[in-house]
Amino acid sequence: MERSLSMELVRVTEAAAQSSARWMGLGKKNEADDAATSAMRSVFDTIPMQGTVVIGEGEKDEAPMLYIGENLGTGSGPKVDVAVDPLEGTNIVAQGTWNALAVIAIADEKNLLHAPDMHMKKIAVGKESVGKIDINAPVKDNLEAVAKARNKSMEDLVVIVLDRPRHTELIEEIRSAGARIKLISDGDVAAAMNTAFDDTGVDVLMGIGGAPEGVLSAVALKCLGGEIQGKLMPANEEDISRCSQMGIADLEKVYYMDDFCSGDDAIFAATGVTDGELLQGVQFKGEKVTTQSVVMRAKSGTVRFIDGNHSLKKKPNLVMEP
């Protein structure tokens, strides 16, 4: 992959974030997702690459999506796999809460996991805890291992979990172990990333979220030196059939970092749509818009935070009015 693609991807996430942020707090998650998707597509059309979406988002929300198999880019340049979520946190934007992102990850062709958009059980940690976790181990064992790796007492450990009825038992196990919990409504890509940054106060992510978010999180953590493990959780015969169509026969398979993202290079880019622990959301200031993004590359280990100032007069097409 070419190094210049890093900044090109930031252009894509910035456009998606600006467009979807116009719908913040209006209670219209599909419209916000549609705005992000349309903006992403229009900027992708200008990027010199031969991209193929190998895992996408939107199907579960009944919103327009960048679909699996879709070709992105100008058709020239490097051949890359693309994992994408134009708006990671459609409900977050609709409600005006925290940690909505526009997210992209790319890697060389055939290097990203090709999996259906369905639920996935995950555990994610930062650099200090790499090699210490096991998704098949009891919750308490994993928490003790992370606490030891991070030189913390159990009561100081913070576990981030999606606030869902399916996690009732998990939450009880975490509390019984003595750790603290941060419940989130949506946005487990941001949650997984936060495990790799000390300032966020998050030590480990646990629970069941989406498979696309799992791949995106894996690329981010590969760049940051962290770790994620996952297991697909098909809900019905239709999900099982979709797995079969993609060549996935072992439904008990544990996906490790090299399964999510093989090779030594990958690029991850995200722009904040609403405010979060790591990134500030889009702010509209008269004739200009400000954004904050992060772009990371696995090969170099470089992490860049980018503050953007955008003129609405010069680029009105990138921001859709509600």
CATH code for the domain in which residue 213 is found: 3.40.190.90
The answer to the question of whether 88 is labelled as a binding residue is yes
Residue 319 covered by a domain: no
pLDDT digit string, tens, across residues 10-29: 999 999 999 999 999 999 99
pTM confidence score: 0.94
Q: Which residues contact 172 (CB under 8 A, 6 or more apart)?
A: none
Bridge-based pairing of strands 180-184 and 158-162 is parallel
- 315 DSSP assignment: -
CA distance 15 to 41: 10
Closest alpha carbon to 76 in 112, 95, 49, 37: 49
192 and 281 belong to one structural domain? no
- 158 DSSP assignment: E
104 and 158 belong to one structural domain? no
Domain boundary among 260, 278, 296: 260
pLDDT at 209: 96
255 and 123 belong to one structural domain? yes
State whether residue 254 is helix, strand or coil: coil
Residue 32 covered by a domain: yes
pLDDT digit string, tens, across residues 177-208: 999 999 999 999 999 999 999 999 999 999 99
The answer to the question of whether 85 is labelled as a binding residue is yes
Q: Which residues contact 129 (CB under 8 A, 6 or more apart)?
A: 145, 146, 149, 150, 203, 204, 226, 227
Residue 318 covered by a domain: no
Q: Which residues share a beta bridge with 122? A: 207, 230
CATH code for the domain in which residue 87 is found: 3.30.540.10
Residue 214 covered by a domain: yes
CA distance 184 to 290: 25
pLDDT at 312: 82
Residue 286: domain span: 4-110+267-311
| Mean per-residue pLDDT over the chain, rounded | 92
The answer to the question of whether 128 is labelled as a binding residue is no
Domain boundary among 226, 245, 260: 260
297 and 278 belong to one structural domain? yes
Structural domains in the chain (count): 2
Residue 320 covered by a domain: no
Closest alpha carbon to 192 in 233, 154, 162: 162
Q: What is the mean pLDDT of residues 159-182?
A: 98
